[in-house]
Chains A and B, each alone.
Chain A
């Protein structure tokens, strides 16, 4: 290669790279999955010891090994949305997150990333939630609780979306960078969405202007859940926020339930958690919209519920 050729090639490649559309696309797997879907299994467990609770919840589903295989890049996505102390139930229980991360490491995950995009100041929310400290206390360099860099946001095309066609996602949560996405939301009241559960927890892997989503929140949440498909959803209902959500005002809003709900079906798990608030699954618009998109089952009579 002489100099002239080198320069020509550099120019050609640069032009090509600059012109390529940076929009990501995700495989349309919903239709294929629907055909081969077996009845969803959902487990519920109650107890004070979070680590034991996680084990008991996962056992009927085949243990963590059913989801995490050796060498996988795992994302554990809690809710670290708010600068509130843990007992106010605005964030996922750190002990639950720690236990799940430990199980993933035990199953041989190559790396386990824990992150969220908080509504309050990210550093303050992280620190107050106690989750970074809990992850660090495991003492395994494969597990890291990291702040998200907005520059790692990529636009993703949502082909099956009914209300939005494109939105920005954090790369680390997409299937390009993650083999197993485990959703660990906390069950809370939310005035607009009625409740914030598993489907709404996806807000934490989005870039861009999330406020836009509020205009049609149920359908838009369902649309976004077409992109990031959790292999496993574990809803933290050890403490739930009954009113003044999603941030909560004080401890009067919190009720201790000591419960975990888990399933591979993101819709079924939301539907069941709704009943913890004495509401019906069809009262939550995102659950209904996700069911209609074929993301899962919302009729709890058709779901195999195991009390573990």
Chain B
């Protein structure tokens, strides 16, 4: 039996303290997921994803391999088996944000509405309970779908995993806005007090280290908005009916030894049902005790101080009412389970839709981060968490969209030129492999990274200035870190003014090229460059003129 209070402080307050501290920890780790004057990160930046048992489960299922670094997920699963779904109530950063959002944006306005327009508010309540009933039936659908899809090697987790949604939303949408907004203030302050006193501190602790831009940021923003919009339908609606990680923890918590006593509210009072965010203690038959997140609201709210959480003995106490009822009611009804399995079983059919599936051979310009060899294995292992894109110092890692099908969405790609942004893979940087929670991007040493081709560069002699227009340039030669680009021919031409100019023509030695893309990104030709990096296995695009052997030698 647990005490009603710990050190005279209500449990609810402990829970809130834990929630906000862990949210701060998450944000702190998020902020540290960037280059900080060291080639090695401190470690632990990807902790949240390694802690998510669903992330580990889907990656391992899809790739058919054991991923050792996902061990914290096993730990959480084991703790949930014993202690119930405490993670959702006490630790989940998205859950904490939803609670905060509820207090800020939902609770107040809804109470006012309820007071002023009782009738329409009651109608809303009816609609909500209808939605909730339907949603309850579909409770395990997202989980089963994601797992079934993973089992046949079809990655959908990026669309629905709560931490992926949160991390990507923060990285792609919130951070760039946050940085730009702060920068505008600093620029406005110019050399004033804000610039001298606030900027250094804020730049170090609150802001991302550099401005970033991400493709499809709006999609990630909309996906992140979904849990918050659902919060308007009901408290913790996302956590109760959609979140697949929550569903997995809920399944695991069915054997939990921690039980609420009494399981049902007393007939004369339903305070505990009112304060329960998870609908776990409902006086009606629809209660779902296993969705209890041990938030302790009911313990603190009971006017008679009757509610307790008890550790059920292994033999099964007669007094623990929760035991029987916990199994009788609940989210996982037989019908719901069968429906989930049926829909899960249709996933292979959906996966057969060509546009959704990864292509047999990826597009030649779809470059993956350093060290990623096999595209298909990469798509299996990658959980679309966005860590690599957050940490990339040059912002060259961008989310894919449908280049590799629907399931390839949000997986990182090396986007050397997109829209008006340019980037390249920094020669000495190995950060993306250090933060990848599943090893989809392998952890490489600097030496290994510098010998693993991301792609290979091919000149386009029809665009390259020294080849096509007798104009001096060789910016690519200047930038190339491996000096794979050399000057192969030098000749004298006349410029517009009729004066002699020396033209140096570059060529690529593809035995040295590692496809970092700095040549393409720094090429002086705007728009489409005069040199392109293609996947290592891609055939020669034939944009280079054939040179005589005598001309191939560097001058």
Separation in Å of the A94 CB from the closest CB of chain B?
14
Q: Does B164 contact A (CB under 8 A)?
A: no
Q: Does B20 contact A (CB under 8 A)?
A: no
Kindly supply a per-residue 1/0 record for chain B positions 267-306, scoring 1 wherever the CB is within 8 Å of any chain A CB and 0 otherwise.
Answer: 0000000000000000000000000000000000000000
Whether the pair A190, B524 counts as a contact (CB closer than 8 A) is no
A249 and B472 in contact, given A127-B37, A211-B522 (Cβ under 8 angstroms): no
Separation in Å of the A250 CB from the closest CB of chain B?
10
A151 and B183 in contact, given A123-B393, A124-B35, A246-B478 (Cβ under 8 angstroms): yes
Q: Does B308 contact A (CB under 8 A)?
A: no
Q: How many angstroms from the CA of A121 to the CA of B394 in the assembled complex?
A: 6
Whether the pair B483, A244 counts as a contact (CB closer than 8 A) is yes
Q: How many angstroms from the CA of A259 to the CA of B429 in the assembled complex?
A: 32
Whether the pair B481, A247 counts as a contact (CB closer than 8 A) is yes
B97 contacts across to A, CB distance below 8 A:
none
Whether the pair B472, A214 counts as a contact (CB closer than 8 A) is yes
A122 contacts across to B, CB distance below 8 A:
210
Kindly supply a per-residue 1/0 record for chain A positions 242-254, scoring 1 wherever the CB is within 8 Å of any chain B CB and 0 otherwise.
Answer: 0010110100000
Number of A-B contacts (CB under 8 A): 76
Q: Does A192 contact B (CB under 8 A)?
A: yes
Whether the pair B504, A191 counts as a contact (CB closer than 8 A) is yes
Q: Does B543 contact A (CB under 8 A)?
A: no
Number of interface residues of A (CB under 8 A): 27
Q: How many angstroms from the CA of A151 to the CA of B487 in the assembled complex?
A: 35
Whether the pair B475, A214 counts as a contact (CB closer than 8 A) is yes
Q: Does B98 contact A (CB under 8 A)?
A: no
- Identify the closest chain B residue to A150 (Cβ): B211
Q: Does B99 contact A (CB under 8 A)?
A: no
Whether the pair B524, A124 counts as a contact (CB closer than 8 A) is no
Whether the pair B426, A121 counts as a contact (CB closer than 8 A) is yes
Whether the pair A215, B478 counts as a contact (CB closer than 8 A) is no
Separation in Å of the A191 CB from the closest CB of chain B?
5
A249 and B482 in contact, given A123-B210, A128-B428 (Cβ under 8 angstroms): yes
Number of interface residues of B (CB under 8 A): 34
Whether the pair A215, B474 counts as a contact (CB closer than 8 A) is no
Q: Does B452 contact A (CB under 8 A)?
A: no
Q: Does A179 contact B (CB under 8 A)?
A: no
Separation in Å of the B353 CB from the closest CB of chain A?
40
Whether the pair B472, A192 counts as a contact (CB closer than 8 A) is yes
Q: How many angstroms from the CA of A124 to the CA of B429 in the assembled complex?
A: 9
Determine which of A192, A212, A216 lies in contact with B478 in the assembled complex, contact meaning CB atoms within 8 Å: A192
Whether the pair A124, B426 counts as a contact (CB closer than 8 A) is yes
- State which residues 51-73 of A face B: CB under 8 Å: none
Q: Does B13 contact A (CB under 8 A)?
A: no
Q: How many angstroms from the CA of A244 to the CA of B523 in the assembled complex?
A: 18
Q: Does A223 contact B (CB under 8 A)?
A: no
Q: Does B387 contact A (CB under 8 A)?
A: no
A215 contacts across to B, CB distance below 8 A:
465, 471-473, 524
Kindly supply a per-residue 1/0 record for chain B positions 38-74, scoring 1 wherever the CB is within 8 Å of any chain A CB and 0 otherwise.
Answer: 1000000000000000000000000000000000000
B35 contacts across to A, CB distance below 8 A:
121, 123-124
A83 and B478 in contact, given A151-B187, A215-B524 (Cβ under 8 angstroms): no
Whether the pair B474, A191 counts as a contact (CB closer than 8 A) is yes
Whether the pair B428, A83 counts as a contact (CB closer than 8 A) is yes
Whether the pair B524, A212 counts as a contact (CB closer than 8 A) is yes
Kindly supply a per-residue 1/0 record for chain A positions 189-232, scoring 1 wherever the CB is within 8 Å of any chain B CB and 0 otherwise.
Answer: 01110000000000000000101101111000000000000000
Q: Does A36 contact B (CB under 8 A)?
A: no
Whether the pair A211, B523 counts as a contact (CB closer than 8 A) is yes
A119 and B479 in contact, given A192-B474, A211-B522 (Cβ under 8 angstroms): yes
B474 contacts across to A, CB distance below 8 A:
191-192, 214
B522 contacts across to A, CB distance below 8 A:
119, 211
Separation in Å of the B479 CB from the closest CB of chain A?
6
A214 contacts across to B, CB distance below 8 A:
472-475, 524
- Identify the closest chain B residue to A126 (Cβ): B37
Q: How many angstroms from the CA of A192 to the CA of B526 in the assembled complex?
A: 20
Q: Does B407 contact A (CB under 8 A)?
A: no
Q: Which of A83, A123, A128, A244 has the most CB of B within 10 A?
A: A123
- Identify the closest chain A residue to B471 (Cβ): A215
Q: How many angstroms from the CA of A152 to the CA of B191 in the assembled complex?
A: 12
Separation in Å of the A184 CB from the closest CB of chain B?
21
- Identify the closest chain A residue to B203 (Cβ): A147
- Identify the closest chain B residue to A120 (Cβ): B426
A249 and B426 in contact, given A151-B187, A211-B475, A211-B524 (Cβ under 8 angstroms): no
B429 contacts across to A, CB distance below 8 A:
121, 124
Q: Does A15 contact B (CB under 8 A)?
A: no
B465 contacts across to A, CB distance below 8 A:
215
Q: How many angstroms from the CA of A287 to the CA of B48 in the assembled complex?
A: 57
A149 contacts across to B, CB distance below 8 A:
183, 187
Whether the pair B478, A190 counts as a contact (CB closer than 8 A) is yes
Determine which of B478, B482, B495 lies in contact with A191 in the assembled complex, contact meaning CB atoms within 8 Å: B478
Q: Does B161 contact A (CB under 8 A)?
A: no
Q: Does B209 contact A (CB under 8 A)?
A: yes
Kindly supply a per-residue 1/0 record for chain A positions 126-153, scoring 1 wherever the CB is within 8 Å of any chain B CB and 0 otherwise.
Answer: 1110000000000000000000010110
- Identify the closest chain A residue to B34 (Cβ): A123
A83 and B427 in contact, given A123-B37, A249-B483 (Cβ under 8 angstroms): yes
B394 contacts across to A, CB distance below 8 A:
121
B504 contacts across to A, CB distance below 8 A:
191-192
- Identify the closest chain A residue to B482 (Cβ): A249
Separation in Å of the A37 CB from the closest CB of chain B?
28
Interface of B toward A, CB cutoff 8 Å: 35, 37-38, 183, 187, 209-210, 393-394, 426-429, 465, 471-475, 477-483, 487, 495, 501, 504, 522-524, 526
18 contacts between A and B (CB under 8 A): A83-B427, A119-B479, A123-B35, A124-B35, A126-B37, A127-B37, A127-B38, A151-B187, A152-B187, A191-B477, A191-B478, A209-B526, A214-B524, A215-B472, A247-B478, A247-B479, A247-B480, A249-B483
Interface of A toward B, CB cutoff 8 Å: 83, 119-124, 126-128, 149, 151-152, 190-192, 209, 211-212, 214-217, 244, 246-247, 249
9 pairs of A and B residues whose beta carbons are closest in the complex:
A211-B524, A127-B37, A121-B393, A214-B473, A121-B426, A244-B483, A192-B474, A211-B475, A249-B483
